[in-house]
Chains A and B, each alone.
Chain A
Amino acid sequence: MDTLRAIDRYQTMKTPDAARGPGRDRDRSDVPSRETLRRVRARDPEALAALFEYGFDRIYGLAARMLGNREQAQDVIQEVFLRVHRSAHRLDAEREPLPWLRQITVNLCRDLWRSAGARGDRQTVSLDEHADLGATLPSDAAPTDAAVLATERERLVQHALGELPPQLREVVLLRDYETLEHDQIAALVGASGAAVRKRYSRALARLSELLEGELR
């Protein structure tokens, strides 16, 4: 079982480009049907399971990248699904639920940042802390040079993301990791489109500095 799990992870790491970058989550084949969403409103277990399968990996990935910490990401996702369950009766069955899930996730990540900021905690994470977020090599698979390099590269990028101020980090992740348009991001973070563009540009400029040498 562990081996299978490890292979699954390895396959995830080696996910072809089609699943990365723009359009990563635009495969709409698993979007719950209206009928399923209506049953979610009634908290039908089967419909809830469909919604879970549809949303979990997407928002877990977003939370993990935003927070750079697996444990915090789990806490956030648990809270997301708790809130979804509590307010399932308000779900709009006519609309795709991902934006709703994403909004809750982003809000909770922001709460976490603000809490950490208010307590004087660091809002960035060290390389070691998010080492588990990169493409993890299976322990019983023979790592290739390319895989090792890819893992190391992910670590460096995640570290650089962790060094960005939260406002910049969320914008660059929503734009390039979640592949949202600026107006969608603006609505999500409650800022103007111009502000989002500015943040995005600053985020990329800062990332470029942080990853200097890695980007050549």
Chain B
Amino acid sequence: MSAPSGGGASRDGYGNALLRLAENSDVVVLEADLGKSTKSCHFRSKYPERTFSLGIAEQNMMLVAAGLASSGKIPMASTFAIFTERGFEQIRNGIARPCLKAHICGSHGGIHTGSDGSSAQSIEDLAIYRTLPNMTIIHPADDISAEELTMQVVDLEGPSYMRTIRNKVPRSYSEETKNELKIGKGSLLKDGNDVVIICCGVMVSKSIDAAIILEKEGINAAVIDMHTIKPLDEKMLDLWSKKCRCIVTAEDHSIIGGLGSAIAEHNSRTNLVPMEMIGVKDRFGESGDSEELFKIMSMTTEDIVKAARKSISRK
């Protein structure tokens, strides 16, 4: 296992995938004045006739996506993760309830968004969309996995929400390993038997770094990129919680309702093993550099290492 290398932002992977998906003439793109940020702008440049600009009006955009999907199109609608939340009830009643194949991408998720401050840092998007029946929820680790998973969402039988992030992070996938990615299946990035670190988004590369540090201490940590938060890969969860007998979860999201909660819910129903959660602990963010924010929120690589030691000690 080598440390994550290079650098890529998952929003770029989304933008690249849209260009590749353009081959399918039913794919259309919806924008709410943030195409340059979410990276749908590349699709717009090449396929303006299939790109609909809806202005700063997210609620309308969600139902326009629903109307297109009901007519056989495959709408890919994006804005900041936080602003998709403005259309939550629209997504709930207009998209998820009739199970329309409309795909929403919320970029700039998490406190990793940094200097824009708390108003732009969505730390609850995964939680709220996870409550909706029919929805698939995806949060890729890097640009390579975001591109691959975006290619797959159009084959889903219902709607999806994908959270991407603004800033570049070390890559956890390569052109070879990306082929193992599958929506609904966790990706094992490192084998281990002392503790399993289950993570998503920007916390994946940090979790791999943490596992490398733990290895030097003689602790053999497994790392799973649980890029699909819903439906949760419960089979994989059962397998690895039985094998390692303790869990650490790591996400750039509130610990209330996100990946950690989803795993805790499952863990409490099945193989009850000790579990530690790394994430935003019931507070809002603030302006600052991403890494500074991770430090004050106790979400650094070192914090994952500490959580792993603690989880093991509770066995």
A and B assemble together: no
A residues apposed to B, CB below 8 Å: none
B residues apposed to A, CB below 8 Å: none
